[in-house]
A and B are shown apart, each in its own frame.
Chain A
C-alpha cells in the first residue's frame, strides 16, 4: 500500500519536474519570439514614421513609394518577373565564389600564422596593412587585372573576406592546448592528420566565427561592387530601379538584401552552434 502511494507520489514529482522544464523552455521560446517581433515591429515603425514625416511636405510626395507598404507590395512582382530570383542567383554565385576563395586561402594562412612563429612575425605588418585597405578601393585595379567584371567582383569579395577568416583562425590556434599536439604525435599522427583531425576540429568555432564576420563584410562589399559594370545582381537591380524612378522596387530590393543577409548570418550562427564543442 505504502509502496503504491510512494510510486504515485514519485510519478507526480517526476511529472512536476519535467513539466517545469517544459514550461520554462516554452517561456524562453516565447520570450525570444516576442523580442524578435517587437524589434522587427519597431524597425518597421521607424521606417514608416520617417517616410510619413518626409511626405508631410507635398513637395516630397514622391517619397511615399519608399514606405514599407509600397516596398512589400512590390515584392511579389519582383519575384514573378524574375528580378529577385536572378539577383539571388548572380549575387549568390559571386558571393559564393569569393567566400570560397577567402576560406581556401584564409584558413591555411591563419593556420600558418598560428603555428609558425616566424611566419606570424613576417606577415603580421603586411597583412594588417592590407586588411586596413577598403576593399572597394581595389576596384579600379581589379577591373584592369581581370578580364571580366564578374571576376573583378569575386576578387573584391575575396580580398575583403580573407582577413577576418585568417586572423580568427590564427587567434583560435593560439588558444589550442599544446598538449593535444603532443598526444596526437605520441599516437602517431602525421602532419596532415594533425591539421585535419586535430587543428581544424579544435578551432572550428573560431574558423566559423571568422567566416561569419567575413560573410558580413562580403555582403556589404558585393552590393556596391555590382553598381558598376555588371547587368545583374542586387546592386545592379537597385541601380536600375533608381534610374527608372521605381522607388518601391528599389526599397523592395533593399528589403531583400536585408533578408538574405539575415538568413546567411543565421546559417552561420547555426553552424557555429553545431560545430562548437565549448561548454559552459
Chain B
C-alpha cells in the first residue's frame, strides 16, 4: 500500500453557513508540507470542525480556497478522506466489507480490493475479526475499522475530527500512537481537530490554535519530538505546558477590527 503526502495550501478561507448567519472563520491562511501531522486545537465554536469539513470537500467555503498539490478541493474525493468522531460503520456489513466499501464505490478489481482490504485490516491489527459483523466489536475496535476504511483508500490526506474523544483513555492512547505511526510509515498528511492538548502533542508535528469569533489561527507551535512519544517524557510535558499557555492566552483573543467579512 503506497501512499504519499500532499502539500496543503489554505488561502484566504472564509466561511458562513448562510448569508445571514455569523462568519464562522475569516481569511484563514495555512500551509502544511507533505507528510505533516497537523493538530488544530481551539475552543468549541471557533470553526475548527468546519475548517476540517471544508478540507474534506463536504462543505464549501464562502471565500478562499483549499489546494492539495495545486488541486482545488471542491468535493469529497478518495484522495482526501475524513474520519469522524464516531466510527459510523455500516452495521449490516462485516469488518472486511466495511473496510472495502470505499473501494467498491470505485473501479477496483475484486482481487485488488481483497488485497488492499486485507492489508488495511492487518495495519489496524484486526485480522482475527475480518469476517465478523462490526456489531460484535468494541468501541475501540470499531474506530480501528473506521481507520482501516479510510486508509484502504490510500489517501494523501487523512482528516480526523476528534476521532478518539468517545473512547476510554487506554484505547485512545493506543490509537493515537497507531495513527501517527501508520501516517509516518506511509507518508500521508494528517490534519486532526482535537480539544485534547495531550493528543496534539502525542500525534502532531505542529499544532495551530484557533480562537475568536469569527475564528482564526492565533498561535502555532512546532512539536519537534522523536517517536515514540510518551506522556511521561519531560520534553513532552514541557511542550504540553507551552501549548496549554498558548491555548489559555488564545481564550482571551479578541478579533482585530478589520477581521470581518466584506
**Contact partner, A188, options B84, B92, B102, Cβ 8 Å:** B102
Identity of the chain A residue whose Cβ is nearest the Cβ of B90 in the assembled complex: A180
B208 / chain A contacts, CB cutoff of 8 Å: none
Interface string of B78-107 (1 = CB under 8 A from A): 100110101010111100000001101110
Known: A180-B90, A204-B92. A188 touches B82 (CB 8 A): no
The complex places the Cα of A177 from the Cα of B133 at a distance, in Å, of 18
Which of B106-152 touch A at CB < 8 Å?
106, 133, 135, 149
Q: Does B56 contact A (CB under 8 A)?
A: yes
> How many residues on the A side are at the interface (Cβ–Cβ under 8 A)?
20
- Are B92 and A187 interface neighbours, CB within 8 A? no
B104 / chain A contacts, CB cutoff of 8 Å: 193, 197
- Are A183 and B84 interface neighbours, CB within 8 A? yes
* A212 shortest CB reach to chain B, Å: 19
Which of B239-257 touch A at CB < 8 Å?
none
- Secondary structure of the A contact surface, majority rule: helix
**Contact partner, A185, options B58, B101, B149, Cβ 8 Å:** B58
Show 27 residue pairs from A and B whose CB-CB distance is below 8 angstroms, ordered by the A residue: A179-B88, A180-B90, A182-B58, A182-B84, A183-B84, A183-B88, A184-B101, A184-B105, A185-B58, A186-B56, A186-B58, A186-B76, A186-B81, A187-B78, A187-B81, A187-B101, A187-B149, A187-B153, A188-B102, A188-B105, A189-B105, A190-B105, A202-B90, A277-B91, A277-B92, A277-B133, A279-B91
Q: Does A201 contact B (CB under 8 A)?
A: yes
Identity of the chain A residue whose Cβ is nearest the Cβ of B91 in the assembled complex: A277
The complex places the Cα of A277 from the Cα of B134 at a distance, in Å, of 11
Given contacts A183-B88, A197-B101, A277-B135, list 10 more A-B pairs with CB under 8 A. Answer: A180-B90, A182-B88, A186-B76, A187-B76, A187-B105, A188-B102, A189-B105, A190-B105, A201-B93, A202-B92
Interface string of B59-90 (1 = CB under 8 A from A): 00000000000000000111001101010101
* A205 shortest CB reach to chain B, Å: 9
B106 / chain A contacts, CB cutoff of 8 Å: 188
A185 / chain B contacts, CB cutoff of 8 Å: 58, 76
* A131 shortest CB reach to chain B, Å: 29
- Are A188 and B90 interface neighbours, CB within 8 A? no
B76 / chain A contacts, CB cutoff of 8 Å: 185-188
A198 / chain B contacts, CB cutoff of 8 Å: 90
Q: Residue among A177, A180, A186, A189 with the most chain B CB within 10 A? A: A186
**Contact partner, A279, options B82, B90, B93, B135, Cβ 8 Å:** B135
* A185 shortest CB reach to chain B, Å: 5
B86 / chain A contacts, CB cutoff of 8 Å: 179
B135 / chain A contacts, CB cutoff of 8 Å: 277, 279
Interface string of A253-280 (1 = CB under 8 A from B): 0000000000000000000000001010
The complex places the Cα of A92 from the Cα of B102 at a distance, in Å, of 41
Identity of the chain A residue whose Cβ is nearest the Cβ of B81 in the assembled complex: A186
The complex places the Cα of A237 from the Cα of B93 at a distance, in Å, of 47
The complex places the Cα of A193 from the Cα of B102 at a distance, in Å, of 11
* A192 shortest CB reach to chain B, Å: 10
Known: A183-B88, A186-B82, A204-B92. A197 touches B56 (CB 8 A): no
A197 / chain B contacts, CB cutoff of 8 Å: 101, 104-105
* A3 shortest CB reach to chain B, Å: 28
Identity of the chain B residue whose Cβ is nearest the Cβ of A177 in the assembled complex: B88
Which of A181-221 touch B at CB < 8 Å?
182-190, 193, 197-198, 201-202, 204
Identity of the chain A residue whose Cβ is nearest the Cβ of B87 in the assembled complex: A183
B93 / chain A contacts, CB cutoff of 8 Å: 201
B91 / chain A contacts, CB cutoff of 8 Å: 277, 279
* B194 shortest CB reach to chain A, Å: 19
* A80 shortest CB reach to chain B, Å: 46
The complex places the Cα of A28 from the Cα of B84 at a distance, in Å, of 43
Identity of the chain A residue whose Cβ is nearest the Cβ of B136 in the assembled complex: A279
- Are B78 and A188 interface neighbours, CB within 8 A? yes
A177 / chain B contacts, CB cutoff of 8 Å: 88
* A16 shortest CB reach to chain B, Å: 26
The complex places the Cα of A279 from the Cα of B149 at a distance, in Å, of 23
B81 / chain A contacts, CB cutoff of 8 Å: 186-187
The complex places the Cα of A186 from the Cα of B75 at a distance, in Å, of 9
* A136 shortest CB reach to chain B, Å: 38
- Are A179 and B149 interface neighbours, CB within 8 A? no
B82 / chain A contacts, CB cutoff of 8 Å: 186
The complex places the Cα of A182 from the Cα of B125 at a distance, in Å, of 26
Identity of the chain B residue whose Cβ is nearest the Cβ of A178 in the assembled complex: B88
Known: A179-B84, A182-B58, A279-B135. A187 touches B102 (CB 8 A): yes
Q: Residue among B78, B81, B92, B153 with the most chain A CB within 10 A? A: B92
Identity of the chain B residue whose Cβ is nearest the Cβ of A279 in the assembled complex: B135
* A175 shortest CB reach to chain B, Å: 13
B84 / chain A contacts, CB cutoff of 8 Å: 179, 182-183
